[in-house]
Amino acid sequence: MTNPAKRTFGPLAPPQRLLMGPGPTSVEPRVYEAMSTPIVSHVDAYFFEVAEDIRELLQVAFGTENAFTMAVSGTGSAGMEAAVANVTEPGMKFAILANGYFSDRMAEMATRQGAEVVRLEIPWGAVFSDRQAREFILREKPHVVGYVQAETSTGAFQRGRAICEAAREVDALTIADCVTSLAGMPVRVDEEGVDVAYSGTQKALSCPPGLAPLTLSARALERIRARKSVLPTWYLDLRLLDSYYGESKRYHHTAPISLFYALREALRIVAEEGLENRWRRHYVNHIAFVAAAKALGMPMHVAAEDQLWTLHTPVLPAGVSETELRKFLLARHGIEVLGGFGPLQGKILRIGLMGASSTVANIETLIAGLAEGFAEQGVSIPGDPLAVARDVWANPPAMPAL
């Protein structure tokens, strides 16, 4: 083994990648610039000004007036754990709408909190009908209902209004995973009645990973404050974080200052583009890519009306090796996409068209690279993928209501 003390370590020189997988996505240049500015202390008045700016900008992105809206220090999984842990006590019934990897992760976290987890399961890539969700919730009468709005493992979008309405009828709180939808698709927390929603910075916000936007309804906050048992996690105790970022400014932890700068700048970019315009960009690029994928012989795994606009799961045609195709894209074009896992392993690609990665130029590069990759494996394609994508961009469709 080489003795590290005798080695010479040069400066970092990471490869240039076009990140078009499920995350992280490409980072906006302005976000990198914001991260290079001088840090202040985590108890400096300026830091709390930045945190307050983030709170107000996140309220717009989440579609909420919730006073408790913040960025938790940690990735999207920290947001999930904070959401689950704070509203779940031992012996509570936690209902999970299970249709992918991240709903399973939420269920695992609830189990570790001592909850009685009840599941309604459907195949990966399907979504729950209003009737399915309603009947399940009214039958089980849980304390908490968890669902994934944007399932990163499958590319499916779960509508939440009926889920939240049924949960309110039985006095249950709802938790929605919006990691792959926030700032790329409509996330209407107040309109749909979501009690707890969380996300991550490394998806459609085009930030580095490391923070988890989170918002709580007044109802959820009241439930947390009335909690009887001791919360087993100190770091993710939202009551303590509320004290840190709230009026008292009571020290809790050393927040990652540069990541807060990054998120503030990313949210400024979202505000400048306009949330509706940003959703429209993601939708039109989504439709263009779906059309191109069809011309390549790759239908989507998810039904058209249930597809995410940010994360795509095209089914690979016979004769195409997912592993070899991804290796080709990375080696020849510097493009990163990922494959499926669980029951979808080897069957699909997972392609993220989010934030700074969701541009016409990037998508054209990806489409051309996929066509070359198919040819490399001796697989012919049934259409002209670039032509059909360009036709969509020339005649953009209207954005549907969700």
Q: Are 241 and 225 in contact (CB under 8 A)?
A: no
> Over the stretch 40-55, which tens digit does the pLDDT of each residue have?
999 999 999 999 999 9
Query: In this predicted structure, what is the pLDDT of residue 93?
Result: 98
> Over the stretch 353-390, which tens digit does the pLDDT of each residue have?
999 999 999 999 999 999 999 999 999 998 999 999 99
Query: In this predicted structure, what is the pLDDT of residue 2?
Result: 59
Domain ranges of the chain: 29-271, 275-394
Rounded CA separation 234/209 (Å)? 22
User: Over the chain, what is the mean pLDDT?
Assistant: 96
> Over the stretch 313-329, which tens digit does the pLDDT of each residue have?
999 999 999 999 999 99
pLDDT above 60: residue 1? no
Task: Report residue 4's pLDDT band, with 50, 70 and 90 as the boundaries.
Answer: low
Rounded CA separation 369/335 (Å)? 8
**What is the assigned CATH class of domain 29-271?**
alpha beta
> Over the stretch 55-69, which tens digit does the pLDDT of each residue have?
999 999 999 999 999
Note if the bond before 186 is cis, omega within 30 degrees: no
Name the percent of the chain lying above pLDDT 90.
Answer: 95
Query: In this predicted structure, what is the pLDDT of residue 372?
Result: 97
Task: Report residue 296's pLDDT band, with 50, 70 and 90 as the boundaries.
Answer: very high
Q: Is the domain 275-394 a CATH 3.40.50.300 member?
A: no
pLDDT above 90: residue 246? no
Query: Is 29-271's fold the same as 275-394's?
Result: no
Token pair for 222: 């009241």
CA 35 to chain centre: 22
> Over the stretch 128-181, which tens digit does the pLDDT of each residue have?
999 999 999 999 999 999 999 999 999 999 999 999 999 999 999 999 999 999
Which burial class, exposed, middle or buried, applies to 246 when counting CB atoms under 10 A from its CB (0-12, 13-18, 19+)?
Answer: middle
> Over the stretch 197-241, which tens digit does the pLDDT of each residue have?
999 999 999 999 999 999 999 999 999 999 989 999 999 999 999
Query: In this predicted structure, what is the pLDDT of residue 7?
Result: 84
Q: What is the CA radius of gyration of the chain?
A: 22
Rounded CA separation 118/97 (Å)? 9
Task: Report residue 121's pLDDT band, with 50, 70 and 90 as the boundaries.
Answer: very high
